């Protein structure tokens, strides 16, 4: 039985607040990084930086009608697997969620979370065994980082559950070139820059994208030879070097422009590509759709295995990269625009489709178009298990059935991960 006590807190200004505290036991981890427990009145409480089975004292920081959010004051009974987080910003920074958990257990918890989301949201009667692919590098794996600016012009991250930016002194996630570069960037205060993105390749080349809301070019000091691009709205101004960088995946080089999306963990991305290729070898499709195609990562590896490939992508920068990256093939078509607008109008009778949508998942019109098409095999690549589960339920209602599920831990130390689901339906 969980208990509660009243805690009297005296603030610096002399005011006194009656702060209700509760003794709770963490039941499991929820998607989003928090642990879940229940209060004496039955409401769910979400608490960060905890581990299932731990018992502790919390106070409420956000009281909703149906649930609350709490902060851990002290641990009464810690988990035997709890470790000391190696980053000094852990708990303040909104980037990492699991540094207090050994990496192998992080992945197991993510698998459990995926299963729970599929059961609760997709209402699946049967879930195939989930294949799990870990990251070989639990730290220093990110080839791209986005930094915000403090008022003094220092690079930082946003605080957890806040838009406030704190000055960064250390980060364990980026690869070596970014790790060296970000600590040597100096911007004038009030520079007009809201965000800086750094992307590196395996050779240590770095592309820096500065994004702001002012037309003037800010003053910036860099002691390293990098490609530097300034972006206001959709206008790109190259200040030094090139407006793109080349990144290798399975020994093939891809051009990635400033403003284009690319996978952040190349080693795990290669495992995803290998999984996709094994599916193509199994299904032997003749015509393939690559929806939300990006710069052509998956299209490039599928192209030699099919007779025709049709790709759809809305980002103009990614489309330009796609045209360069797939230039050697003549049996590929690329349509620029929203998938929900283009797919229903396509007359291509593809037998396999690959969907890699953003976090919001598939638009209902995309699901309807896939169901009405000749597609009998569908590979759904998702970065959000909640919208994935929702869409799997909708696709199931249209006649698609799950054949296999694989979890790829693209983002160690965080609650994020990628899922690759193969669905099939009867021949049409």
d(CA 307, CA 288): 8
CA distances from 102 to 20, 34, 55, 107, 276 (A): 32, 16, 19, 9, 29
- Look at residue 65 in the predicted model and tell me its pLDDT: 83
Q: Which two tokens stand for residue 335?
A: 């349509």
pLDDT tens-digit map of 348-378: 899 999 999 999 999 999 999 999 999 999 9
CB 307 within 8 A of CB 286: yes
- Look at residue 78 in the predicted model and tell me its pLDDT: 97
- Look at residue 186 in the predicted model and tell me its pLDDT: 77
pTM of the model: 0.93
The 3-class SS string of the chain reads CCEEEEEEEECCCCCEEEEEEEEEECCEECCCCCEEEECCCCCEEEECCCCCCCEEEEEEEEECCCEEEEEEEEEEECCCCCCCCCCCCECCECCCCCCCCCHHHHHHHHHHHHHHHHHHHCCCCCCCCEEEECCCCCCCCECEEEEEECCCCCEEEEECCCCCEEECCCCCCECHHHHHHHHHCEECCCCCEEEEEEEECCCCCEEEEEEECCCCCCCEECCCCCEEEEEECCEEEEEECCCEEEEEECCEEEEEECCCCCCCCHHHHHHHHHHHHHHHHHHCCCEEEEECCCCCHHHHHHHHHCCEEEEEECCHHHHHHHHHHCCCCCCEEEEECCHHHHHHHCCCCCCEEEECCCCCCCCHHHHHHHHHCCCCEEEEEECCHHHHHHHHHHHHHCCCEEEEEEEECCCCCCCCCEEEEEEECCCC
d(CA 199, CA 207): 5
Q: Is the sign of the CA dihedral 318, 324, 326, 331 positive or negative?
A: positive
d(CA 258, CA 198): 9
Q: Which two tokens stand for residue 113?
A: 């979370």
d(CA 71, CA 236): 43
First to last CA, the chain: 56
Question: Which domains, from first to last, does the chain contain?
Answer: 3-82 (2.40.50.140), 105-137+265-424 (3.40.50.150), 144-247 (2.40.50.1070)
The residue with tokens 């960064």 is 168
d(CA 264, CA 141): 8
d(CA 353, CA 336): 17
The residue with tokens 């607008």 is 341
Q: What's the CA angle centered on 123, arms 117 and 124, to 5 degrees?
A: 90
d(CA 309, CA 107): 34
pLDDT tens-digit map of 90-132: 999 999 999 999 999 999 999 999 999 999 999 988 899 999 9
- Look at residue 143 in the predicted model and tell me its pLDDT: 98
CB 195 within 8 A of CB 147: yes
- Per-residue pLDDT tens digits of the chain, which is 428 residues long: 455 554 544 445 544 444 688 999 999 999 999 999 999 999 999 999 999 999 999 999 998 888 999 999 999 999 999 999 999 999 999 999 999 999 999 999 999 999 999 999 999 888 999 999 999 999 999 999 999 998 888 899 999 988 899 999 999 999 999 999 998 887 877 778 889 999 999 999 999 999 887 666 777 767 778 999 998 887 888 989 999 999 999 999 999 999 999 999 999 999 999 999 999 999 999 999 999 999 999 999 999 999 999 999 999 999 999 999 999 999 999 999 999 999 999 988 999 999 999 999 999 999 999 999 999 999 999 999 999 999 999 999 999 999 999 999 999 999 999 999 999 997 76
- Look at residue 11 in the predicted model and tell me its pLDDT: 46
d(CA 236, CA 228): 10
Q: How many residues does the chain have?
A: 428
CA distances from 408 to 30, 120, 151, 285 (A): 18, 21, 37, 24
Q: What's the CA angle centered on 95, arms 89 and 98, to 5 degrees?
A: 80
The residue with tokens 């427990």 is 37
CB 196 within 8 A of CB 186: no
Q: What's the CA angle centered on 107, arms 101 and 109, to 5 degrees?
A: 75
Number of Cβ atoms within 10 Å of the Cβ of 387: 18
């Amino acid at each position: 039985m969980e208990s509660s006590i009243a805690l009297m807190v005296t603030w610096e200004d002399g005011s006194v607040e009656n702060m209700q505290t509760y003794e709770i036991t963490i039941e499991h981890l929820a998607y989003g990084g928090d642990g879940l427990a229940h209060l004496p009145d039955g409401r769910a409480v979400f608490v960060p930086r905890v581990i299932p089975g731990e018992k502790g004292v919390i106070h409420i920081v956000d009281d909703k009608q149906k649930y609350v959010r709490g902060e851990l004051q002290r641990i009464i009974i810690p988990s035997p697997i709890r470790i000391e987080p190696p980053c000094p910003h852990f708990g303040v920074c909104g980037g990492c969620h699991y540094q207090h958990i050994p990496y192998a257990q992080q992945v197991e918890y993510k698998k459990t979370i995926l299963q729970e989301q599929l059961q609760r949201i997709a209402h699946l009667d049967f879930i195939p065994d989930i294949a799990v692919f870990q990251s070989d590098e639990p730290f220093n794996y990110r080839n791209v980082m986005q930094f915000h600016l403090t008022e003094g012009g220092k690079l930082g991250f946003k605080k957890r559950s806040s838009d406030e930016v704190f000055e960064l002194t250390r980060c364990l996630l980026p690869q070596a070139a970014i790790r060296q570069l970000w600590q040597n960037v100096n911007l004038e205060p009030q520079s007009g820059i809201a965000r800086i993105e750094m992307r590196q390749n395996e050779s240590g080349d770095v592309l820096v994208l500065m994004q702001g809301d002012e037309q003037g070019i800010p003053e910036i000091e860099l002691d390293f030879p990098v490609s530097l691009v300034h972006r206001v709205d959709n206008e790109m101004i190259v200040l030094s070097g090139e407006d793109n960088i080349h990144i290798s995946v399975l020994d093939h080089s891809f051009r990635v422009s400033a403003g284009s999306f690319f996978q952040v963990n190349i080693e795990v991305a290669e495992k995803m590509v290998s999984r996709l290729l094994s599916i193509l070898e199994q299904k032997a499709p003749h015509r393939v759709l690559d929806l939300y195609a990006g710069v052509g990562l998956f299209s490039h590896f599928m192209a030699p295995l099919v007779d025709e490939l049709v790709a759809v992508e809305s980002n103009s920068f990614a489309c330009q990269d796609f045209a360069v990256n797939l230039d050697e093939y003549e049996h590929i078509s690329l349509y620029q625009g929203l998938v929900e607008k283009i797919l229903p109008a396509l007359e291509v009778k593809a037998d396999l489709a690959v969907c890699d949508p953003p976090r919001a998942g598939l638009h209902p019109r995309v699901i309807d178009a896939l169901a009405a098409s000749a597609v009998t095999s569908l590979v759904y690549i998702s970065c959000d298990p909640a919208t994935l589960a929702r869409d799997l339920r909708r696709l199931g209602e249209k006649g698609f059935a799950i054949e296999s599920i694989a979890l790829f831990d693209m983002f160690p130390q965080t609650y994020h991960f990628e899922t690759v689901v193969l669905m099939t339906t009867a021949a049409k």
